[in-house]
Amino acid sequence: DTGVSQDPRHKITKRGQNVTFRCDPISEHNRLYWYRQTLGQGPEFLTYFQNEAQLEKSRLLSDRFSAERPKGSFSTLEIQRTEQGDSAMYLCASSSAKLYEQYFGPGTRLTVT
């Protein structure tokens, strides 16, 4: 068990570009979550998958954001036409079906210039 991993750890992009982040959950966990954390704030929920099904989406997840978990294993989060307000830490977490505690990855820090 190597924990939740995320790639890349840092991403700098220009406004208007598309970016994609990857999350690999703990292998036996069937639930996967995406959160966004801005400086000085707690993480805010974006979306959640159970296996390959996307079951919850926050109103924060605008049309420019899309997340997938095609085979119920890793997940990707894509942001299209990035804006400066998208600059944040994007956190991924996973949990098992039996327990509510979520385990977080190291995050991807996005900077939009």
Partner 1 sequence: AQTVTQSQPEMSVQEAETVTLSCTYDTSESNYYLFWYKQPPSRQMILVIRQEAYKQQNATENRFSVNFQKAAKSFSLKISDSQLGDTAMYFCAFIASGAGSYQLTFGKGTKLSVIP
Beta-carbon contacts of 63 under 8 Å, excluding residues fewer than 6 positions away, are none
Among 11, 24, 29, 35, binds partner 1 (CB under 8 A): 35
Pair of tokens at residue 6 = 């995320």
Residue 33 as a binder of partner 1 (CB under 8 A): the answer is yes
Residue of 58, 66, 76, 96 that binds partner 1 (CB under 8 A):
58
Residue in the structure block whose two tokens are 């942001």: 79
- Nearest distance in Å: CB 3, partner 1: 8
Task: Return the number of the residue (18 or 38) whose C-beta is nearest partner 1.
Answer: 38
Q: How far is CA 85 from the centre of its chain?
A: 16
